[in-house]
Amino acid sequence: MRIDAETLREMGAILAAEDRDEMAIPSFLHKNPALRWMAWRRVEVVARMLERVCPQGGTVLDYGCGTGVLFEAALTKAGAVVGVDLVLGAAKLWKSRRNLQAVTLLTPPEVDATVADASVDVVVAAEVLEHIDEPAPTLAMFRRVLKPGGSLLVSLPTENRAYKFGRRMAGFDGHFHVHNASNLHTVLLGSGFDVAERSWIPLPGPLAIYMVARYTRTGGK
């Protein structure tokens, strides 16, 4: 389910400009329909994958949950969702507005004290790992909380020419990403994860702007 434009504007009004931009609110509301399509398309691809791989009654940890746009997709199968973000104002608004009582909201420092080892079926990290200077501790936490064989779903920017052209078309400046899909794929494979599936939006090859992938937690601790 998409978040309606009125609520997105309300979220944007209560957030600092940097937080609003990192939650992709300007992209969801962009006047250019192609750019709006691209923003929502990556959400829809992650949502469909999440609905497919989450076991009935399972637990989902949405790391970098932002606006909470994936909460309801998770709850089509999950019995509990843990939304994690440094800034929780937008997610709190959406949780309240949609009466999502099965959603618990935490800040990243609260995860270690709250989420038990091997208790999560699916971790979602959509448009978040590229912002983290040193992803190894975060990936270690994902691996700790995931059940053996559990899934990690990620969406990541390619940072290729098509991506950078799209940013210019959208009128976005500045540099917000430390990493890209290619180098984070390599990091994930070296951090106790195996790749299960990958797709690219809108198309593979030089036109790829985003990678959406599912990784599985390898056995052992």
Q: What is the CATH number of the domain that holds 92?
A: 3.40.50.150
Count: domains in the chain: 1
pLDDT tens digits, 91-139: 999 999 999 999 999 999 999 999 999 999 999 999 999 888 899 999 9
Average pLDDT (4-10) is: 97
What is the reported pLDDT for 208? Answer: 85
What is the reported pLDDT for 158? Answer: 85
CB 89 within 8 A of CB 15: yes
Task: Using alpha carbons, select from 78, 62, 67 the residue that is nearest to residue 14.
Answer: 67
* pLDDT at residue 203 tops 80: yes
SS3 assignment, position 206: helix
Tokens standing for residue 66 = 């932002």
Question: How would you label 182-221 residue by residue, b for 16+ Cβ within 10 Å and e otherwise?
Answer: eebbebbeebbbeeeeeebbeeeeeebbbbbbbbbbeeee
* pLDDT at residue 43 tops 70: yes
Range of the domain at 16: 5-217
SS3 assignment, position 57: coil
75: amino acid identity, one letter:
L
What is the reported pLDDT for 167? Answer: 54
Residue 171, burial from CB neighbour count under 10 angstroms (0-12, 13-18, 19+): exposed
**How many Å apart are CA 83 and CA 85, to the nearest integer?**
7
Average pLDDT (194-220) is: 88
pLDDT tens digits, 147-186: 998 999 999 988 655 455 455 555 555 555 657 888 899 9
What is the reported pLDDT for 1? Answer: 77
What is the reported pLDDT for 204? Answer: 83
What is the reported pLDDT for 166? Answer: 55
pLDDT tens digits, 44-88: 999 999 999 999 999 999 999 999 999 999 999 999 999 999 999
pLDDT tens digits, 126-147: 999 988 889 999 999 999 999 9
Average pLDDT (177-196) is: 89
